[in-house]
Structure 1
Amino acid sequence: MNYRIISKLILSGILLGVIASGLSGQVVVKPSIKSKTHPSLHIDSIYVGEETVVFLHIINENTEGTAWFCADKNIYLVDVQTNKKYPLRKQIGIPVCPETHSFKKIGEILLFRLYFPALGSNVEEIDIIEGCSDHCFSLKGIVLDQKLNEEIRMFEKGVELFTAGKYQDALIIFKELAENSGFKSTSHFAYATYILPVIYHQLKEEDKAKETYQKLIHSTIREKAYFLQKIHEIPFFNELRYQ
């Protein structure tokens, strides 16, 4: 079965479960994650309310030997900004180590949930860290703001299009981010501000390239010096800096 279809079925089940339970908190769907130890481990959604429930699944992609998975009882959810730790209360659908779930075939999916206490107010980013001695998992930089997640996904799509040489399509996305982002201190806003003049130059729209280059010059984006260094590696923009 196609992974995209599987993902939609999983999310539908999660959302129906939340509705049926009468829970009234926020559900963050497929949050952005900055880094994780296990590429096949995915967060489908996070319920944030009177408790915090993380819905996950892991796909068996191991083609050699026996694959297994478990979750240690020593798991913490960490508020990145304050470093406050929230201990795991319970887990459903996954064995507690040293007990394990043994996968029977490639592509098999294990669905499970991790329950933590209610988060403090205005928690924007979290880590989930398993404290154990061997093959521990961690998921870091999990974004809880749904609008920020949407922007990050838009940014990732823009990068994909740009890398594929689909400059017109990438332009639409990065122009929207550069002009209307609600998160102007982020790296994706900075990148959008930098890449716009580059795309216009690729499309041979030199007036637009010059205009957006000037916006980059006068911007207050993060890591501005780095992006200026990168853009001045392009002869067209390197000449502009001396005009």
Structure 2
Amino acid sequence: MYFERPLVRAYVDETGDRGTSGKASRYFAMVAVMVADEDDAALRSAIGTCRQRLSVPVNKPLHWTEHVKRFPRRQFVAAQLAAVEGVVVGYLVIEKAALAAADPVRANQVAFYNYASGLTLTGILHAAATWPGGARDVVVNFGHVRGFPHQETLVYFEKLRSDAEAQTRWDLLRSMPRFLAAGQLDGLQAADQYAGMLRAALEPDEFGGFEHHHLLAVRHQIHRFEGEAWGHGLRVIAAPGTMEQYPWWPLDGL
């Protein structure tokens, strides 16, 4: 089949949980790792190098929380991915406390996931529409969440797509997103690493410190529109000033 526009491949993973109890994570976040089809092999190669150097078993996917626990390993993985040309990263960060208690999205974990996934998908489509060199089609793969009714997410996507007032370039979506296990695609394992970098920067360790070094190492890959990452490659739903309160936050933002 012939397609007029070239292709972008997008891989999505999440970090944090969707709960609201006292033990739940402060944030729920999603990361989309986008790469031009012709650069996808370089991304796969970087993940292959990480798997080899970190001695990840052949039958296991590379997981940040399992295989990249120590600082030297995290520094190595960040360096490998930061060196891949053509990678564009989009982050969505939701501070759950910033959502109104009566908001149905906060009260329903399925609705919450679908809401975050929808924002992530529209962000991917915006990046594809403004891709260097011209708009591209996009194929999107989300990491599968065990036991989650992803069919409801697809229904939610269709509802977004049917919104006649939306400015989103749904025509760039070559096929509806798939939900796959991390072991099925190297790109999903890459997304897991970028999600881990974000979480290490946002969640304090036992001494109140942060590992922001890895996130800042891939800062240049964050999607920008007209030079700005905020609201594009970095979308944050949080109380005003939340990000700026981090001691590592750059004066000019990410």
Would you call these one fold, judging by a TM-score over 0.5? no
- Name the structure, 1 or 2, with higher relative contact order (CA <8 Å, separation 6+): 2
**Structure 1 length as normaliser, TM-score?**
0.29
From the two aligned structures, give the one with the greater helix fraction: 2
Q: TM-score, normalised by structure 2?
A: 0.28
Look at both structures and tell me which one has the larger radius of gyration over its CA atoms.
1
